[in-house]
Structure 1
Amino acid sequence: MTFSIVGRCGETGQLGIAISSSSIAVGARCPWVRAGVGAVATQNVTLPALGPQILDLMEQQKLAPHVALMQARATDTFNAWRQVTVIDAQGHTAFFTGDNALGLHHAVAGDQCVAAGNMLAAPQVVDAMVRAFERTHGLLAARLLAAMHAAVEAGGEAGPVHSAALKVVDRQVWSIVDLRVDWADDDPIGQLAQLWRGYLPQMQDYVTRALDPGAAPSYGVPGDE
């Protein structure tokens, strides 16, 4: 039903998530990222509230990921249906998979990353994601996408995948990358990668526009001179 990876860049401190699902619009419910705090993926039978709740606990009470995850789970009557992964701004990780998780499921923590999935074709799908993230160099978004491609090559989900999302934060409170494929009959991860390739050359320019409009480049659209 879903596979994902949360990760941190050791050089920049960026935090991010890449996720894909057989369900529609996985990016609307499952990825939660907060600059300077952490990233949370909530999946399987999703309770979206867990994402902000865990991030609040880490930010406001300075809790470690495993403690914040434990406290958030304690408030959820149906936590046996959840699968949750967490990483904080220092790269510490935690994960949980409930006893009622769907199908074949697996979760693995790596170097500044956690990958997890349910309704998988094989457990090796998740292992492949971690290896790809650790072995890929460059921007965090590209490393997260490399992990998703590795998951597909390792077998992916047991059924067809229809949606995918990529979200990354840097120093600002807003996401510097927030790309989604809400529904595709074929290869949403490939379509997400295509969106990333189109967005990458302009990514820093949009940050510049926000922080120093006078220094931002023009794209030649009406009124943008």
Structure 2
Amino acid sequence: MEPVATFSLVAQDPRTGDLGVAVASKFLAVGAVVPYARAGVGAVATQSYANTTYGPRALAILEAGGSPEAVLEAFRRTDRDLPLRQFGLVAMSGESLTFTGEACHPWAGGRAGPGFAAQGNLLTGPEVVEAMVETFLLKEDLPLPERLVEALLAGDRAGGDRRGRQSAALLVVGAGKGYGGFSDRYVDLRVDDHPDPVPELFRLLDLHRLLFSRPKEKRPLTPEEIRWLQEALRRAGYYGGEATGTWDEATEAALRAFLGVENLEERYAGGPELDEGTFLQLKARLG
């Protein structure tokens, strides 16, 4: 077995109920191995000679009403290689647990508290975990995805994986928050092979926010703005009518088509109302 040496933070946001995992490692595509989460249930990071059944099994136990300690006891009964394993989990209730087997490669350890579990192995030292926890607790004003990546970056800059850097990932779930409202997985980003993966993960999260957020604060477009939009959409080949400054079905259909091509469709709910960020993107992309 190949060791998945990594540092990770599992957390729950008590304000929104969202759950997530942020992870980084000197390991190719760590996001394909470590993070698991289910909205309304919990989140898990499984690492160090990772047993990838831990994620689904832990979530099943939590969903059935079991505690984090019940998860650990189940793994003790069924996995003879538990001393090689490391995992952290947080339940929807905020209960948490981090476990480090005595055979994990040093430095290895973790820290858990209400709503979070931080852990790592093959690290430069305990300062990596402490930096993640301190940053996570200080950044409570941030949305959970940004808070997790800020904490991950703090751990990375405190030393991180003692072998170097290669990959990072972020998984966050919330009820009905996925694309189109069809799933709960609303942030699932992976940097599989990069010399400095955590800052790259930040860049992807910013891009994700631009393309897939659903802004709540919107304003009506003025007649002048509607006229500009009609003219710009006509130049781009999406609108065939006159630039009247009056909203109509043809204008809305043209706008929807353009936003779909530009991957901005999640930001628009219909009608002559837009958030400022989307309007600025239209001006930038339509000229």
Global fold match (TM > 0.5): yes
| 8 A Cα contact 1:177 1:203, kept in partner | no
Q: Displacement of 1:202 after TM fit? A: 2.8
Aligned to 2:29: 25
Pick from 92, 97, 100 the counterpart of residue 95 of structure 2.
Answer: 92
Aligned to 1:211: none
Aligned to 1:182: 192
CA RMSD of aligned residues (A): 2.2
Higher strand share: 1
Aligned to 2:284: none
Q: Which runs of 4+ in 1 moved over 4 A?
A: 222-225
Q: Give the AA of the match of 2:84.
A: W
Q: Give the AA of the match of 1:183.
A: D
1:140-151 alignment to 2 at 5 Å?
140-151=144-155
Pick from 102, 105, 108 the counterpart of residue 105 of structure 2.
Answer: 102
| 8 A Cα contact 1:82 1:101, kept in partner | yes
Residue range with higher mean Cα deviation, 141-150 or 70-79 = 70-79
| 8 A Cα contact 2:95 2:114, kept in partner | no
Pick from 133, 148, 154 the counterpart of residue 158 of structure 2.
Answer: 154
Q: Give the AA of the match of 2:77.
A: A
Pick from 236, 259, 262 the counterpart of residue 219 of structure 1.
Answer: 259
Aligned to 1:114: 117
Distance 1:145 1:78 in 2: 30
TM-score of the aligned structures, taking structure 2 as reference length: 0.71
Distance 2:34 2:159 in 1: 22
TM-score of the aligned structures, taking structure 1 as reference length: 0.89
Who wins on radius of gyration, i.e. which is larger? 2
Q: What fraction of aligned residue pairs are identical, expressed as a percent?
A: 37
Query: How many pairs does the alignment contain?
Result: 215
Residue range with higher mean Cα deviation, 97-106 or 162-171 = 97-106
Q: Displacement of 1:122 after TM fit? A: 1.3
Aligned to 1:63: 66
Q: Give the AA of the match of 2:165.
A: V
Please say if 1:163 is aligned against 2:172: no
Q: Displacement of 1:111 after TM fit? A: 3.7
Distance 2:113 2:156 in 1: 19
Aligned to 1:209: none
Q: Displacement of 1:203 after TM fit? A: 2.8
